[in-house]
Amino acid sequence: MSIHTPARPALDVDVVNGVAHKVRDLALAEAGRHQIRLAEHEMPGLMALREEFGPHQPLAGQRIAGSLHMTVQTAVLIETLRALGADVRWASCNIFSTQDEAAAAVVVGTTGTVERPEGTPVFAWKGETLEEYWWATQQIFDFGVDAAGEPVGPTMILDDGGDATLLVHKGVEFEAAGSVPADAEGDSAEWRVVLEVLRNSLASDPQRWTRMARSIQGVTEETTTGVHRLYELHRDGKLLFPAINVNDSVTKSKFDNKYGIRHSLPDGLNRATDVLMGGKTVFVCGYGDVGKGSADALRGQGARVIVSEIDPINALQAAMDGYQVARLEDVIGDIDILVTATGNENVVTLDHLLALKHLAIVANVGHFDNEIDMAGLEALPGAERIEIKPQVHEWRLPNGRSILVLSEGRLMNLGNATGHPSFVMSASFTNQVLAQLELATKRAEYPIGVYVLPKLLDEKVARLHLDALGVKLTELSPRQAQYIGVDPAGPYKVEHYRY
Amino acid sequence: MSIHTPARPALDVDVVNGVAHKVRDLALAEAGRHQIRLAEHEMPGLMALREEFGPHQPLAGQRIAGSLHMTVQTAVLIETLRALGADVRWASCNIFSTQDEAAAAVVVGTTGTVERPEGTPVFAWKGETLEEYWWATQQIFDFGVDAAGEPVGPTMILDDGGDATLLVHKGVEFEAAGSVPADAEGDSAEWRVVLEVLRNSLASDPQRWTRMARSIQGVTEETTTGVHRLYELHRDGKLLFPAINVNDSVTKSKFDNKYGIRHSLPDGLNRATDVLMGGKTVFVCGYGDVGKGSADALRGQGARVIVSEIDPINALQAAMDGYQVARLEDVIGDIDILVTATGNENVVTLDHLLALKHLAIVANVGHFDNEIDMAGLEALPGAERIEIKPQVHEWRLPNGRSILVLSEGRLMNLGNATGHPSFVMSASFTNQVLAQLELATKRAEYPIGVYVLPKLLDEKVARLHLDALGVKLTELSPRQAQYIGVDPAGPYKVEHYRY
Amino acid sequence: MSIHTPARPALDVDVVNGVAHKVRDLALAEAGRHQIRLAEHEMPGLMALREEFGPHQPLAGQRIAGSLHMTVQTAVLIETLRALGADVRWASCNIFSTQDEAAAAVVVGTTGTVERPEGTPVFAWKGETLEEYWWATQQIFDFGVDAAGEPVGPTMILDDGGDATLLVHKGVEFEAAGSVPADAEGDSAEWRVVLEVLRNSLASDPQRWTRMARSIQGVTEETTTGVHRLYELHRDGKLLFPAINVNDSVTKSKFDNKYGIRHSLPDGLNRATDVLMGGKTVFVCGYGDVGKGSADALRGQGARVIVSEIDPINALQAAMDGYQVARLEDVIGDIDILVTATGNENVVTLDHLLALKHLAIVANVGHFDNEIDMAGLEALPGAERIEIKPQVHEWRLPNGRSILVLSEGRLMNLGNATGHPSFVMSASFTNQVLAQLELATKRAEYPIGVYVLPKLLDEKVARLHLDALGVKLTELSPRQAQYIGVDPAGPYKVEHYRY
Amino acid sequence: MSIHTPARPALDVDVVNGVAHKVRDLALAEAGRHQIRLAEHEMPGLMALREEFGPHQPLAGQRIAGSLHMTVQTAVLIETLRALGADVRWASCNIFSTQDEAAAAVVVGTTGTVERPEGTPVFAWKGETLEEYWWATQQIFDFGVDAAGEPVGPTMILDDGGDATLLVHKGVEFEAAGSVPADAEGDSAEWRVVLEVLRNSLASDPQRWTRMARSIQGVTEETTTGVHRLYELHRDGKLLFPAINVNDSVTKSKFDNKYGIRHSLPDGLNRATDVLMGGKTVFVCGYGDVGKGSADALRGQGARVIVSEIDPINALQAAMDGYQVARLEDVIGDIDILVTATGNENVVTLDHLLALKHLAIVANVGHFDNEIDMAGLEALPGAERIEIKPQVHEWRLPNGRSILVLSEGRLMNLGNATGHPSFVMSASFTNQVLAQLELATKRAEYPIGVYVLPKLLDEKVARLHLDALGVKLTELSPRQAQYIGVDPAGPYKVEHYRY
In tens, the pLDDT along D112-142 reads 887 788 899 999 998 899 999 999 999 999 9
Asked if pLDDT for residue B22 goes beyond 60, the answer is no
DSSP reduced 3-state for C149? coil
Q: How far apart are the first and last CA of chain B?
A: 50
- What residues of chain C, 342 to 361, have a C-beta less than 8 Å from chain D? 343-347
Cβ–Cβ under 8 Å, residues B91 and B122: yes
Q: Which residue of A has its CA nearest to B498?
A: A498
Reported in sequence order, the residue ranges of C270-383 that DSSP labels E, i.e. its strands, are 281-285, 304-308, 324-325, 337-340, 360-364
**Mean pLDDT of all residues in B38-56:** 97
Mean pLDDT, chain A, rounded, equals 93
- What residues of chain B, 19 to 48, have a C-beta less than 8 Å from chain A? none
Q: Which residue of C has its CA nearest to A321?
A: C302
Query: Hey, is the C-beta of B321 within 8 angstroms of any chain D C-beta?
Result: yes
Asked if pLDDT for residue B43 goes beyond 80, the answer is yes
Distance, CA of B286 to chain centre: 19
Q: Report the pLDDT value the prediction gives residue C126, as an integer from 0 to 100.
A: 85
Q: Where are the domains of chain B?
A: 14-216, 259-416
Phi/psi for D271 (5° steps) reads: -65, -35
Strand-pair category, C324-325 with C243-245:
unpaired
Q: Report the pLDDT value the prediction gives residue A116, as an integer from 0 to 100.
A: 83
Q: What is the pLDDT of residues D363-400, one digit of tens each?
A: 999 988 899 999 999 999 999 999 998 999 999 999 99
Q: Report the pLDDT value the prediction gives residue A336, as an integer from 0 to 100.
A: 98
Query: Hey, is the C-beta of A302 within 8 angstroms of any chain D C-beta?
Result: yes
CA separation for the pair C231, C212 (Å, rounded): 21
What DSSP letter does each residue of A224-277 carry, written as one string? HHHHHHHHHHHHTT---S-EEEGGGSHHHHTTIIIIIHHHHHHHHHHHHH----
CA separation for the pair B333, B360 (Å, rounded): 10
Asked if pLDDT for residue A344 goes beyond 90, the answer is yes
What DSSP letter does each residue of A177-217 carry, written as one string? HTSPPPP-TT--HHHHHHHHHHHHHHHH-TTHHHHHHHH--
Residues of A in contact with C321 (CB under 8 A): 302
Asked if pLDDT for residue C315 goes beyond 90, the answer is yes
Q: Report the pLDDT value the prediction gives residue D6, as an integer from 0 to 100.
A: 31
DSSP reduced 3-state for C221? strand
Query: Hey, is the C-beta of B255 within 8 angstroms of any chain A C-beta?
Result: yes
Helical (H) or strand (E) element with B64: strand B63-67
Residue B468: CA count within 13 A, CB half-sphere: 29
Cβ–Cβ under 8 Å, residues D266 and D242: no
Query: Hey, is the C-beta of B320 within 8 angstroms of any chain D C-beta?
Result: yes
Q: Report the pLDDT value the prediction gives residue D20, as an integer from 0 to 100.
A: 53
Helical (H) or strand (E) element with D338: strand D337-340
Q: Report the pLDDT value the prediction gives residue D96, as an integer from 0 to 100.
A: 81
- Rounded alpha-carbon distances, angstroms, from residue D187 to B165, C168, D170: 84, 64, 15
Neighbour-count burial of D315, counting CB atoms closer than 10 A to its CB (0-12 exposed, 13-18 middle, 19+ buried): buried
Q: What is the pLDDT of residues B374-407, one digit of tens each?
A: 999 999 999 999 999 899 999 999 999 999 999 9
**Mean pLDDT of all residues in D44-57:** 98
What DSSP letter does each residue of A88-155 carry, written as one string? EEEE-SSSS---HHHHHHHHH-SS--SSS--S--EE--TT--HHHHHHHHHHTT---B-TTS-B---S
Q: What global pTM score does this model have?
A: 0.94
Phi-psi region of B404 (alpha: psi -120 to 50; beta: other; left: phi over 0): beta
For chain C, how big is the Rg over CA atoms in Å? 23
Q: How far apart are the first and last CA of chain A?
A: 50
Query: Hey, is the C-beta of A499 within 8 angstroms of any chain B C-beta?
Result: yes
Equal CATH topology for A14-216 and A259-416: yes
The widest CA-to-CA distance across chain B, in whole angstroms, is 73
Q: Report the pLDDT value the prediction gives residue A443, as an integer from 0 to 100.
A: 92
CA separation for the pair A266, A276 (Å, rounded): 10
ipTM for the predicted complex: 0.93
In C178-311, where does DSSP find H-type helix?
189-204, 208-215, 224-235, 250-253, 261-273, 289-300
Query: Hey, is the C-beta of D485 within 8 angstroms of any chain C C-beta?
Result: yes
Q: Report the pLDDT value the prediction gives residue A2, as an integer from 0 to 100.
A: 31
Q: What is the pLDDT of residues C102-155, one digit of tens each?
A: 999 999 998 888 778 889 999 998 889 999 999 999 999 999 999 999 999 999
**Poorest-confidence range of A314-323, A346-355, B12-21, C419-428?**
B12-21
Residue whose C-alpha is closest to residue B436's, from B187, B4, B1, B64:
B64
Residue whose C-alpha is closest to residue B181's, from B161, B202, B162:
B202
**Mean pLDDT of all residues in D252-278:** 96
For chain D, how big is the Rg over CA atoms in Å? 23
Phi/psi for A65 (5° steps) reads: -95, 115
Chains that touch D (3 or more CB pairs under 8 A): A, B, C
- When CB atoms are compared, the residue of D320, D322, D324 closest to B299 is D322
- Rounded alpha-carbon distances, angstroms, from residue A137 to A118, A443, B150: 21, 25, 77
Residues of D in contact with A393 (CB under 8 A): none
**Mean pLDDT of all residues in C173-182:** 97
Q: Report the pLDDT value the prediction gives residue A224, as an integer from 0 to 100.
A: 85
Cβ–Cβ under 8 Å, residues A143 and A152: yes
Q: What is the pLDDT of residues B219-235, one digit of tens each?
A: 999 988 899 999 999 99
Cβ–Cβ under 8 Å, residues D249 and D461: yes
Phi-psi region of A322 (alpha: psi -120 to 50; beta: other; left: phi over 0): left
Q: What percent of chain B has pLDDT over 70?
A: 95
- Rounded alpha-carbon distances, angstroms, from residue B492 to A312, B1, B438, B458, B499: 9, 52, 21, 11, 11
- Helix%, strand%, coil% for chain C, nearest 5: 45, 15, 40
Tell the CATH topology of B14-216.
Answer: Rossmann fold (3.40.50)
pLDDT band at D17 (very low <50, low <70, confident <90, very high): very low
For chain A, how big is the Rg over CA atoms in Å? 23
Long-range contacts of D14-20 (CB under 8 A, 24+ apart): D15/D139, D17/D117, D18/D121, D19/D107, D19/D117, D19/D119, D19/D121, D19/D122, D20/D103, D20/D107, D20/D121, D20/D122, D20/D123, D20/D124, D20/D125, D20/D136
Q: Report the pLDDT value the prediction gives residue B406, as an integer from 0 to 100.
A: 98
Query: Hey, is the C-beta of C228 within 8 angstroms of any chain A C-beta?
Result: no
How close is the nearest chain B Cα to the Cα of C261, in Å?
10
In B346-442, where does DSSP find H-type helix?
350-355, 374-378, 412-415, 422-441
pLDDT band at C4 (very low <50, low <70, confident <90, very high): very low
CA separation for the pair D229, A397 (Å, rounded): 50
pLDDT band at C24 (very low <50, low <70, confident <90, very high): low
Residue whose C-alpha is closest to residue D208's, from D113, D141, D306:
D141
Asked if pLDDT for residue C16 goes beyond 50, the answer is no
Asked if pLDDT for residue A19 goes beyond 70, the answer is no
Residue D447: other Cβ atoms inside 10 A: 8
**Poorest-confidence range of A333-337, B298-302, D482-486?**
D482-486
The residue among D276, D289, D296, D465 with the most chain A CBs within 10 A of its CB, best to mutate, is: D276
Instruction: Point out which residues pair with D282 in neighbouring strands.
Output: D305, D337
Residue whose C-alpha is closest to residue D107's, from D155, D133, D139:
D139
Q: What is the pLDDT of residues C228-237, one digit of tens each?
A: 999 999 999 9
Phi/psi for A476 (5° steps) reads: -70, 135
Query: Hey, is the C-beta of B313 within 8 angstroms of any chain A C-beta?
Result: yes
CA separation for the pair B482, A307 (Å, rounded): 23
Strand-pair category, D324-325 with D337-340:
unpaired
B120 is in an annotated binding site: no
CA separation for the pair A18, B82 (Å, rounded): 76
**B304 and D322: CB-CB below 8 Å?**
yes
Q: Which residue has the higher pLDDT, D8 or C220?
A: C220
CATH classification of A259-416 is 3.40.50.720, yes or no? yes
**A421 and D301: CB-CB below 8 Å?**
no
CA separation for the pair B337, B269 (Å, rounded): 9
Residue whose C-alpha is closest to residue C250's, from C489, C490, C459, C491:
C459
The residue type at A273? T
Helical (H) or strand (E) element with D50: helix D44-53
The residue among B34, B41, B257, B274 with the most chain C CBs within 10 A of its CB, best to mutate, is: B274
**Mean pLDDT of all residues in C4-18:** 38
- What residues of chain C, 265 to 294, have a C-beta less than 8 Å from chain A? 278-279, 281
Tally of residues, chain A: 499
- Rounded alpha-carbon distances, angstroms, from residue B260 to B292, B331, B415, C91: 11, 28, 15, 40
Residue whose C-alpha is closest to residue D98's, from D66, D72, D77:
D72
Binding residues of D for NAD(+): 223-225, 257, 286-293, 309, 314, 344, 413, 420
**C322 and A316: CB-CB below 8 Å?**
no
**A273 and D302: CB-CB below 8 Å?**
no
Cβ–Cβ under 8 Å, residues B119 and B109: yes
- When CB atoms are compared, the residue of D302, D321, D324 closest to B321 is D302
Angle between helices B163-177 and B189-204 (to 10 degrees): 50
Q: Report the pLDDT value the prediction gives residue A21, as an integer from 0 to 100.
A: 53
Q: What is the pLDDT of residues B281-303, one digit of tens each?
A: 999 999 999 999 999 999 999 99
CA separation for the pair C29, D107 (Å, rounded): 80
**Poorest-confidence range of A13-17, C226-230, D495-499?**
A13-17
Q: Report the pLDDT value the prediction gives residue B224, as an integer from 0 to 100.
A: 85
**Mean pLDDT of all residues in B143-150:** 93
- Rounded alpha-carbon distances, angstroms, from residue D317 to A247, A323, B302, C70, C257: 42, 27, 10, 27, 13
CA separation for the pair D340, D419 (Å, rounded): 16
**Mean pLDDT of all residues in C29-45:** 94
Mean pLDDT, chain D, rounded, equals 93
B483's CB contacts (< 8 A; 6+ apart) are: A344, A345
Q: Which residue of D has its CA nearest to B304?
A: D322
Cβ–Cβ under 8 Å, residues B446 and B438: yes
pLDDT band at C1 (very low <50, low <70, confident <90, very high): very low
